[in-house]
Amino acid sequence: MNVQLGIQRFNPENDAKPYWQSFLITQVDPAERVLDLLKYVKAHVDGTLTFRHSCAHGVCGSDAMRINNLNRLACKTLVQALARPNTERVPIRVQPLLGLPVVKDLVVDMDPFYEHYRSIIPFLVNEQEAPGRERLQSPEERAIIDDGTKCILCACCTTSCPSFWANGRYVGPAAIVQAHRFIFDSRDTGAAERLAVLDRKTGVWRCRTVFNCTEACPRDIDVTRLIGEVKLAIAQGPRRAGRVR
C-alpha cells in the first residue's frame, strides 16, 4: 500500500502563512499508524518536520491533530482506517488542531486550552477534615463520574467545536468534562464555584449541541451528554441533575 501524505507546514521564522507539502511513502503496512508515517518522514525525508508525541499508545494525548479533516490521535489512527476500498494510494492530509495558535508545523500552543482547564478548578475541593484513611465512595457514586475520568486532555474535542473556533474564550468541551468529573463527585464540595464559572457567557451556554466533540473523542467519552448534565446542574442544581445522587 502507498500513502500520499500531505502535511500542513508552517515555520514562523520563514513562512508568512502555512503551506502544504506532500510526501509519497511506498510499501506501507496497512496496520501502521499515522504517527509511524510522520516519524518516517522526520527520520528519513525531512528532519525539520515538527510534531508532538510521547506514549504512542493513546494514553498521553500529545499527538492530537486533524487527520483527513477530523480530529484524532495520530498514534491511534491506522492507515487502513483511512483507505478507501480498491485504492492502492491512500491520501492522508494532516493539519494542526484548529482554534489554537500554531507554534510550528503540527505543534499548537496549548496554553489557552490549559487556561480554560484551570478556570474550572480541576482538583478535589473538600474543606472537611480528611478521615483517617481515604474518603469512601460507593461504586454507584463512582459510576456517575466514570466517563469524565477517562479524559486525557488531548484537546480533540475542544478544537472540533465550532463555538470554540468562533470564540476562543469559550471554555470548551474538555474543560466542561473535567468540571463534570468534580461537580458530580460525591467527595467534592466545590460544585457551586465551578457551576458559577460555567454559567458565565463563556461557559456551557456556548455549546450548541453540535456533537463534533463526542464524535472526535479518542476515549469515547459522551462529551455532549456530560455538557448537557452540567447545563441541567446549573438550571436545576447538581443533585437533581445527577442521575443517582
Partner 1 sequence: MCSFSVAWLEGLRYAGKQGQWSWVAHRVSGLLTVAFVTTHVLDSTLITFFPKLYKKTIQLFKHPLAAVIEIPLVGAVLYHAVNGLRIAVMDFRPAWWRHQRRSSQVVQVVFALLYVPMALKMGSGVLAGLRGKRS
Q: Which residues bind partner 1 (CB under 8 A)?
A: 66, 68-70, 98-99, 112, 160, 162, 164-169, 208-212, 214-215, 222, 224-229, 231-232, 243
User: Which is nearer to ligand FES, 24 or 59 (by Cβ)?
Assistant: 59
* Nearest distance, CB of residue 211 and partner 1, angstroms: 3
Where helices occur in 101-167 by DSSP H, the ranges are 111-119, 139-149, 162-166
- Shortest distance, position 160 Cβ to partner 1, whole Å: 7
| Closest distance to partner 1 from the beta carbon of 71 (Å) | 8
Q: Which is nearer to ligand FES, 67 or 121 (CB)?
A: 67
Single out the residue of 181, 170, 194 nearest to residue 112, CA to CA: 170
Q: Which does residue 185 bind out of partner 1, ligand FES, none, counting CB within 5 to 8 angstroms by kind? A: none
CB closer to partner 1, 35 vs 108 = 108
| Binding residues vs ligand FES (CB under 6 A) | 53-56, 58-63, 73, 75
How is residue 242 written as a grid cell?
A: 445527577
End-to-end CA distance of the chain: 53
Residue 182 · residue 117 · CB < 8 Å: no
Quick one: 36 or 63, whose CB is closer to ligand FES? 63
What is the spatial distance between Cα 148 and Cα 130, in angstroms, rounded to a whole number? 24
Q: What is the DSSP letter of 41?
A: I
Distance in Å, CB of 180 to partner 1, minimum: 10
Least distance from C-beta 110 to partner 1, angstroms?
A: 14
Residue 218: how many CA atoms within 13 Å on its side-chain side?
A: 25
How many residues does this entry show for the chain?
245
Which residue lies nearer to partner 1 by CB, 29 or 115?
A: 115
Q: Between 122 and 168, whose beta carbon lies closer to partner 1?
A: 168
User: How far apart are CB 98 and ligand FES at their closest, in Å?
Assistant: 18
- Output the nine-digit C-alpha cell for 124: 478535589
**Angle 145-151-152 from CA coordinates, rounded to 5°:** 150
147 binds, among partner 1, ligand FES, none (CB under 5 to 8 A by kind): none
Q: Which does 59 bind (CB under 5 to 8 A by kind): ligand FES, partner 1, none?
A: ligand FES
Cell reading at 32? 501502521
Chosen from partner 1, ligand FES, none, partner binding at 243 (C-beta under 5 to 8 Å by type): partner 1
Residue 194: partners with Cβ closer than 8 Å, 6 or more residues away: 120, 121, 179, 182, 183
- Partner from ligand FES, partner 1, none contacting 222, C-beta within 5 to 8 A by type: partner 1
147 burial class (0-12, 13-18, 19+ CB within 10 angstroms)? Answer: buried
181: enclosing H helix or E strand = helix 172-183
